[in-house]
Amino acid sequence: MTLELGGKSAAIILDDADVEQTVAALLPASLMNNGQACVAQTRVLASKRRYRAVADALVAAVGQLPVGDPMDPATMIGPLVAARQRERVEGYIRLGREEGARVALGGGRPAAYSRGWYVEPTVFVDVDNGMRIAREEIFGPVLAVIPYDDEGDAVRIANDSDYGLSGTVWTNDVDHGLEIARRVRTGTYTVNSFMMEFSAPFGGFKSSGLGRELGPEGLSAYLEPKTINLPMGYEPRTSY
């Protein structure tokens, strides 16, 4: 048995990253399928020094995403899967406000669509990682922008989660990004982009699941290894 159970992945934006380019590349990884994706990068970590610049860029970019008919190729944000899912997402938006986070964009239903389970793409700022909107999987178009003090603090926040499925780091120094990647405990991690490599194992740590899918490691759950023990000192006459 293998289990893939979801995530609350963090995107760490380092201070040397170009904010505009990073946000443009990050949004498809954060709001794919209207945020209904286990690997969605829904916690956006920005240093306190550049927090407002990152938050403002996110708000501007998310605000430009076309909301509409999911059958229209131009649409970037469509409806959620069911009424119960919209109610769940709206419940988390209310909860985020009650916890003290501020809605910088969205937070309601698009006025242009009375039919369909739509929620406006929503960006929360002034989010603490202890808030439920930062700890629980919302599974909708809701992003939480979380400040960090330094890189060590960013890694700590990324790892301070019940989940460990995916994550990204954004930096002008790929080698340094690789160092960060090794310190974040997730099953899949990407530097300066987001991808799933179908020839590599996919799965998570902690509450994100058990075992791996894809790649040679993905076959292990379907195999039963066998061990044959031989007497001490025995040398087989043939190789197997």
Q: Are 202 and 166 in contact (CB under 8 A)?
A: no
- The answer to whether residue 24 scores a pLDDT higher than 60 is yes
Average model confidence (pLDDT) across the chain: 95
Q: Would you state the pLDDT for residue 236?
A: 80
Residues 64-68, mean pLDDT to the nearest whole number: 96
- Domain 3-222 in this protein, CATH class: alpha beta
The pTM for the full model equals 0.92
Q: Are 189 and 167 in contact (CB under 8 A)?
A: yes
Structure tokens belonging to residue 74: 């131009």
Q: Is 217 a catalytic residue?
A: no
- pLDDT category, 240, cuts 50, 70, 90? low
DSSP per-residue letters across 191-213: ESS----TTS-B--EETTEES-B
Of residues 198 and 177, the one with the higher pLDDT is 177
Query: Other CB atoms closer than 10 Å to residue 88's CB: what's the count?
Result: 15
Catalytic residue among 4, 90, 120, 151: 4
- The answer to whether residue 83 scores a pLDDT higher than 80 is yes
Catalytic residue among 38, 90, 120, 151: 38
pLDDT in tens, 137-167: 999 999 999 999 999 999 999 999 999 999 9
Q: Are 230 and 236 in contact (CB under 8 A)?
A: yes
Q: Would you state the pLDDT for residue 239?
A: 64
Q: Is 90 a catalytic residue?
A: no
Residues 2-10, mean pLDDT to the nearest whole number: 93
Q: Which residues contact 33 (CB under 8 A, 6 or more apart)?
A: 40
pLDDT in tens, 84-103: 999 999 999 999 999 999 99
pLDDT in tens, 111-129: 999 899 999 999 999 999 9
List the chain domain ranges: 3-222
Residue entry with tokens 């379907």: 222
- Secondary structure element (H or E) that encloses residue 94, with its range: helix 83-99
